[in-house]
Amino acid sequence: MGGLLTEAFIASLLFGAVTVGIPLLLAGLGEQISEKSGVLNIGIEGMMLMGAYGGFVAAYYTESFWLGFIAGGILGTVVASLMVLFCVLLSMNQIVIGIALTIGAEGLTALLHHFQFSRTYPRMPEVPILDIPGLQNIPVIGPAFFERHPLVYLSVLLVVFVSWMFRRTQIGLNLQAAGDKPAALDAAGVDVKLTRACAVLTTGFLAGLGGAFMANVGAGLFVPHMTHGAGFIGIVLAMLARGKPVWVLLGAALFGASLALTTALQVAGLNIPTDVVQMLPFAMVIVVLILFARHSYLPPALGLPYHRGER
C-alpha cells in the first residue's frame, strides 16, 4: 500500500481522471439538456460511439485534432437527428428507439472499423497541448489540469455556460417548461417539438464530441465498443445532478477518477487485474444510486411524447 500516496500515483490518477472525465462530462451535460426538455435519450451511447469513430477517422486523415472533434460532434448530431425524427416528431417510444440507435451504432462502427482499420490499427499522433502559463508548474496537479488540450478547458467553461443558460435565458426557461409541463409551453406559444428537437440535437453534438475526445485524446485510436458504457454513465450523472450542471462536473470527475485507476495503480506498482478495476465505476454508480436515490429528480414529462390537445 505504500505506493498509493506517492506523487506519481496521484499525478497519474488526476491526469487520467481528466482524460476519462471529460467525455463523461460532455455526455452528462448533453443528457441533462435532453432530459430537462423531457426526452430520455438512451441513444446517447450510440451517439458517443459514432462520434468516436467519425472523430478518429476525420482526425486521422486530416491530421487535425480540431477537425476530428468537430466531425465527431457532427456525427453525433446525425444520430441525434434520427432520434428527433422518430421520437420528437413521430412520437415513437423513446426507449425502443434509443436502444435501436445504440445497437446500430455499435454494429455500424465496428463493421466500418473492421473494413477500414482492422489490419492496420493506426494510432493518433501526440496530443497537442495548451499550457496555462504559471499554473502548469504546480507540482502534481499542474500537468493534470493545466497542460491539456484546449477542449478540456472549453468543457469546463461549458459547464458555466450551460448553468447560466438554464438560469438566466429564455432557452433555459423553455427547456424547463418542455420537461415539466409541455402543454403550458404550447399554450404560451412556443413550439414544444422544436424546443425538444434542439435539445436532442445539442445532446448529439456534445456526445459526439465526447466520443471523439475519447478516441483521439484518450486512447489515440478507435476500438469497437470503446465507449463501454460511458454514455450510460452520462445518463446516471444527469439523473443525479438534479438539473444543475455543476453536479455533472463533480460526478464526471469522480467517475473519471475511478475509471482511471488502472493506469494509476500500475504506476503505483500495484498490479490489480483490469477486470476488477473495470468494475469499480459501475459499482460506484450503484452505491451512489443507493445512497442518493431519494435525491434524484426527473422532470415529470420525461419520456412522454407531447401531443397538442390530447385529452
Which residues contact another protein by CB under 8 A? 40, 42, 82, 86, 90-93, 95-97, 99-101, 103-108, 110-112, 114-115, 168-171, 173-174, 176-177, 180-181, 183-191, 224, 228-229, 232, 235-236, 239, 273, 275-276, 278-279, 282-283, 285-286, 289-290, 293-294, 296, 298, 308-309
The set of residues, in sequence order, having a beta carbon less than 8 Å from that of 147 and lying 6+ positions away, is 129, 131, 132, 136
- Give 121 or 138: the residue with its C-beta nearer to another protein: 121
Question: Containing H/E element for 147?
Answer: strand 147-148
- Give 42 or 152: the residue with its C-beta nearer to another protein: 42
- Give 101 or 253: the residue with its C-beta nearer to another protein: 101
Place of cell 475509471: 259
**CB 268 → another protein: shortest distance, Å?**
20
Give the cell for residue 274. 483490469
Give the cell for residue 8. 506519481
| DSSP β-bridge partners for residue 147 | 131
Residue type, 306: Y
- Give 115 or 133: the residue with its C-beta nearer to another protein: 115
**CB 82 → another protein: shortest distance, Å?**
8
**CB 18 → another protein: shortest distance, Å?**
22
- Give 135 or 289: the residue with its C-beta nearer to another protein: 289
Interatomic CA distance for residues 24 and 41, integer angstroms: 15
Q: Is 190 exposed, middle or buried (0-12, 13-18, 19+ CB in 10 A)?
A: middle
**CB 245 → another protein: shortest distance, Å?**
17
**CB 139 → another protein: shortest distance, Å?**
34
Question: Residue 245, Cα to own-chain centre: how many angstroms?
Answer: 13
